[in-house]
């Protein structure tokens, strides 16, 4: 068994255990393998171990990697998206995690319409104002929720966050709770279901699952550390 296969097996067990102990459906939690900066060979090892959904934070990297891997592999864009890349990336990815402004939402809506797509997206929420410059804060998302919901080609599936880093996963729990509660509030207001909560990374995904995460974005715990900051 490859090291990557062993890591994946261990993480799947931890996901299962975290879901069970918190009364969540383990089958409803998607493990998104964050493969950014890692080579094709590593991704292929993960595929061989049964992993079929991968997250990248750059459009350019998806464009390079996707043609080299089996076509049944599914991709999520987890990083910020620039307007000039929307047309290229929409046909390639199953979900865009980090819709971080009304302007990019409008672009995705318009180009999605032109391409005959209904892009599945998550709205990025910035809960820890000092650490991340991306995303709607809880005030702006409440103000802009109705206009976002009016973008009829946008298939808003839920919300995501990247909380301020703390080495102690328990310290991040309040952010996961905040995101879940905000999701519940937006769901009530918008009327449409928001089933997806994308939260939790290598060091805190178990806590995120306990708080209801449906997609955990795990990179270094699967592939090892990244050489350069990505």
Ligand X SMILES: *Cc1c(COP(=O)(O)O)cnc(C)c1O
The site for ligand X (CB under 6 A) is made up of 34, 36, 57, 78-79, 162, 201-202, 217-221
In 10 A of CB 123, how many CB atoms?
A: 28
- Taking the complex as a whole, the smallest distance from the CB of residue 32 to ligand X amounts, in Å, to 8
Q: Which is nearer to ligand X, 128 or 219 (CB)?
A: 219
- Taking the complex as a whole, the smallest distance from the CB of residue 114 to ligand X amounts, in Å, to 27
Q: Which is nearer to ligand X, 61 or 107 (CB)?
A: 61
- Taking the complex as a whole, the smallest distance from the CB of residue 101 to ligand X amounts, in Å, to 16
Q: Which is nearer to ligand X, 151 or 223 (CB)?
A: 223
- CA dist 82 and 226 (Å) reads 23
Q: Which is nearer to ligand X, 142 or 203 (CB)?
A: 203
- Taking the complex as a whole, the smallest distance from the CB of residue 111 to ligand X amounts, in Å, to 22
Q: Which is nearer to ligand X, 212 or 219 (CB)?
A: 219
- Taking the complex as a whole, the smallest distance from the CB of residue 124 to ligand X amounts, in Å, to 9
Closest residue to ligand X, based on beta-carbon distance: 219
């Amino acid at each position: 068994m490859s090291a990557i296969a062993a890591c994946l097996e261990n993480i799947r067990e931890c996901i299962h255990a975290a879901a069970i102990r918190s009364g969540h459906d383990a089958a409803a939690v998607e493990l998104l393998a964050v493969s950014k900066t890692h080579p094709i060979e590593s991704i292929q090892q993960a595929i061989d171990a049964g992993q079929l959904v991968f997250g990248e934070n750059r459009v350019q990297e998806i464009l390079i990697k996707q043609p080299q891997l089996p076509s049944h592999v599914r991709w999520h864009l987890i990083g910020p998206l620039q307007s000039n890349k929307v047309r290229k990336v929409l046909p390639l990815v199953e979900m865009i995690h980090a819709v971080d402004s009304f302007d990019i939402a409008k672009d995705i809506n318009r180009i999605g319409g032109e391409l005959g797509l209904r892009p599945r997206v998550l709205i990025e929420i910035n809960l820890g104002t000092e650490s991340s410059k991306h995303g709607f804060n809880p005030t702006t998302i409440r103000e802009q929720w109705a206009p976002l919901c009016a973008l009829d080609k946008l298939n808003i599936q839920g919300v995501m966050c990247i909380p301020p880093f703390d080495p102690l996963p328990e310290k991040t729990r309040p952010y996961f709770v905040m995101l879940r509660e905000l999701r519940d509030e937006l769901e009530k207001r918008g009327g449409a279901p928001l089933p997806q909560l994308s939260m939790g990374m290598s060091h805190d995904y178990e806590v995120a699952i306990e708080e209801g995460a449906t997609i955990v974005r795990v990179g270094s715990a699967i592939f090892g550390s990244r050489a350069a900051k990505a």
